[in-house]
Amino acid sequence: MAAPDVAVVGAGLAGLSAALELKSNGCRVHLYERSRLIGGRATSFEVAGREVDNGQHVFLACCTEFIRFVERAGMGENLYLQPRFDVLVFTRDGERGRLRAMRLPPPLHLAASFLTYRLLNWKARLRVIGALRSIKDALHSEQNFAAWLADRGQRRDEVRAFWEPFIVPALNAPLERIAASDAALVLWRAFFEDAGAARFGFARVPLAHIMNAAARNIDELHLSTAVLAVDIDDDGRPSVQPAGAERRSYDAIVLAVPPRQLAKVLHNSAQYGLPALDEYEPMPIIDVHLWHDRGALDFDFAALIDSPVQWIFQKEAGYICCSVSAAEQYVRLPTDELATLAWDQVRAAVSELSIASLRNSAVTRNPEATYLPKHGVIRPMQRTRRSRVAVAGSWTDTGWLDTMESAVRSGITAAQSLVLERHVA
Ligand SMILES: Cc1cc2nc3c(=O)[nH]c(=O)nc-3n(C[C@H](O)[C@H](O)[C@H](O)COP(=O)(O)OP(=O)(O)OC[C@H]3O[C@@H](n4cnc5c(N)ncnc54)[C@H](O)[C@@H]3O)c2cc1C
Q: What is the CATH number of the domain that holds 338?
A: 3.90.660.10
pLDDT above 70 (res 224): yes
Domain with 325, as residue range(s), is 281-372
Q: Considering its fold, how many domains does the chain have in total?
A: 3
Protein residue closest via CA to atom 4 of ligand 1: 57
* 366 pLDDT tier (thresholds 50, 70, 90): very high
Over residues 227-284, the pLDDT tens digits come to: 999 999 999 999 999 999 999 999 999 999 999 999 999 999 999 999 889 999 999 9
Give pLDDT tens digits for 273-308: 998 899 999 999 999 999 999 999 999 999 999 999
CB-ligand 1 contact for 40 (6 Å cutoff): yes
Residues 118 and 233 in one domain: no
DSSP states along 145-176: HHHHHHHTT--HHHIIIIIHHHHHHHHTS-GG
Q: Estimate the crossing angle of helix 64-72 against helix 404-420, to 10 degrees.
A: 70
Burial zone of 329 (CB within 10 Å; 0-12 exposed, 13-18 middle, 19+ buried): exposed
Q: Which of 209, 229, 178 is nearest to 372 (CA)?
A: 178
Task: Characterize the bridge pairing of strands 238-242 and 96-100.
Answer: unpaired
Q: Considering the domain boundaries, does residue 210 fall inside one? A: yes
Q: Helices 164-171 and 180-187, interaxial angle, to 10°?
A: 100
Are residues 367 and 389 both part of a single domain? no
Assess whether 263 and 412 both reside in one domain: yes
CB of 15 within 6 A of ligand 1: the answer is yes
Same domain as 345, residue 362 = yes
pLDDT tops 80 at residue 1: no
Task: Decide whether any atom of ligand 1 lies within 6 Å of the 411 Cβ.
Answer: no
Residue 43 confidence (pLDDT) above 80: yes
The pLDDT value given to residue 419: 87
Q: Residue 141 pLDDT > 80, yes or no?
A: yes
| pLDDT for the residue 421 | 72
Find the CATH number of the domain harbouring 269. Answer: 3.50.50.60
What is the structure's pLDDT at 202? Answer: 97
Burial class of residue 425 (count of CB atoms within 10 Å of its CB; 0-12, 13-18, 19+) = middle
Q: Which residue minimizes the CA distance to atom 51 of ligand 1?
A: 369
Residue 64 belongs to a domain = no
What is the Å distance from ligand 1's center to 114 Cα? 34
Atom of ligand 1 nearest to the CA of 41: 29
Both 267 and 378 in one domain: the answer is yes
Evaluate whether residue 220 is within a structural domain: yes
Look over the chain and give the mean of its residue pLDDT values, rounded to a whole number: 95
| Nearest CA residue ID for atom 26, ligand 1 | 393
Which of 168, 195, 222 marks a domain boundary? 195
pTM: 0.96
pLDDT in tens, 73-128: 999 999 999 999 999 999 988 999 999 998 888 888 888 788 889 999 999 999 99
* Domain identity same for 317 and 174: no
User: Do the beta carbons of residue 218 and residue 31 sit within 8 Å?
Assistant: yes
Query: In this model, does residue 423 exceed pLDDT 70?
Result: no
Q: Is the domain of 252 the same as that of 391?
A: yes
Question: Best mutation site among 33, 36, 38, 41 for ligand 1, i.e. most ligand atoms within 8 A of its Cβ?
Answer: 41
Atom of ligand 1 nearest to the CA of 364: 1
The answer as to whether 386 is a domain residue is yes
